[in-house]
Amino acid sequence: MPVSRLSTVEKAFRVLSAVAEGPPRGATALGRELALDKNAVQRILVTLEHLGWIQPQPPPSIGWTLTSQAMVLGRQYGAGLRERAHPYLQKLAEITEETAQLWLIDRGRFVIVDAVDSQRPLRIVVPIGHDAPLDQGQQFLAFLDPAQRSAYAEAYPMEERTVERVRRQGYYVTRSVPGSTGVGAPVLRGGVPTGAVLVVGPSSRMRADVLTKYSSAVLETAQRISEIS
């Protein structure tokens, strides 16, 4: 017999997610946004405050914000791999002098779990914990199987010859964020992509010849991390 879900817990997480994703707002605004009873939202907010997850804005402001508890818990995600992979990211950042990042795939999305930022004045920085849809990796989709890739065909269509070229060379290029360009390679477990290593910098520096130059270091780093994942 299947176990039923707890609707109260689902509502609490919906409220917590709404607090995390938007500007500070009170129970009335959150209830309207989530189509939940204002009194129920207020009880959830008070409970989350008691548990240390959120805190009210100081008067005269109205609304709620996250506490550091979310960050403390979030750091546990991928912690073991992050610790083992960090020296490889550090070396990659030193070789390229650009930002080196480690992304993992979680429920169909990329989540950045570690990064070593470039020391150059002009650099690309993405906070740990940032998540993005897989199609934001653009050519990364070539490493997925055809069924998975088809789910993203509308958002980022790829010609079959491009898929074959990317898979053959083992690395991909992404320009999903305006003004930045990255070269990455998949982290594999049992031959299946579970994440990616990415070197990203301002597009003005990441020319085609530079991407080719960095690709070997990115590939080696991804292979090393795949071996310890």
Distance from the first to the final alpha carbon of the chain:
35
- pLDDT digit string (tens) for 206-227? 999 999 999 999 999 999 999 9
Tell me how far apart the alpha carbons of residues 101 and 112 are, in angstroms, rounded to a whole number: 7
DSSP string, 54-120: EEEPPTT---EEE-THHHHHHTTTTHHHHHHHHHHHHHHHHHHSSEEEEEEEETTEEEEEEEE---S
Higher pLDDT, 1 or 210: 210
> Which domains, ranges and CATH numbers included, belong to the chain?
7-72 (1.10.10.10), 75-228 (3.30.450.40)
Tell me how far apart the alpha carbons of residues 227 and 51 are, in angstroms, rounded to a whole number: 39
Q: What is the pLDDT of residue 77?
A: 52
pTM for this one?
0.74
- pLDDT digit string (tens) for 106-165? 888 898 989 999 999 999 998 888 888 999 999 999 999 999 899 998 889 999 999 999
